[in-house]
Amino acid sequence: IALGPQGRPVVAWSEKPSSGSLDIHFRMYADAPPVPTTLSQVEFGSSAVIPLGEIVPASSVMAKATVESGTPIIPLCFLQIEARPVDDSFDGTPTGESGIGLSGDETGALIVTPVPGGWHWRARAAISASVFSPWVSFGGNAEADPDFIVPTPPAPPPGGSSSGRKCSAGTGGSG
């Protein structure tokens, strides 16, 4: 297996017909893999599922899905995700991806959310940098509705001290 034009996988094989000449055949697999299935979102570093539209306890979420290559010739594939604040439209640029895994396995990609607010995400399966499935949105909700919400961090207390303790300089020494 090799990558041909536009990164599409190519398989080559040879046959020796009765004429004694060697025929070499190539087949390019241009078909995209099927869309990912069983999409879920879980807390990063945990297996706790985040229900649709819920507030997350951290600013990182793991997007999970089952991905398939779509062909037994190419048993490896990976997950790409695109996550955006709900006020931003999707533009087709992946914002994260999983490592390479076996077709039919569940895999995950980290969603890093640098700003608080509502977020939505979608996923696609890929077998190379340029061969991938159509995007499929998580949750089945409207794109304007959040798949999860990153809370605004609390403001620091007045005075900049979070412990409530006061420091004072003491005098020491003897006599």
Per-residue pLDDT tens for 34-90?
Answer: 899 999 999 988 889 999 999 998 778 999 999 988 877 778 899 999 999 999 999
Residue 59 is given by DSSP the state: S
Give the Cα separation of 101 and 95 in Å (integer). 19
Please state the pTM of the whole predicted model.
0.72
Give the Cα separation of 82 and 95 in Å (integer). 5
> What's the pLDDT tens digit per position in 142-154?
999 999 999 988 8
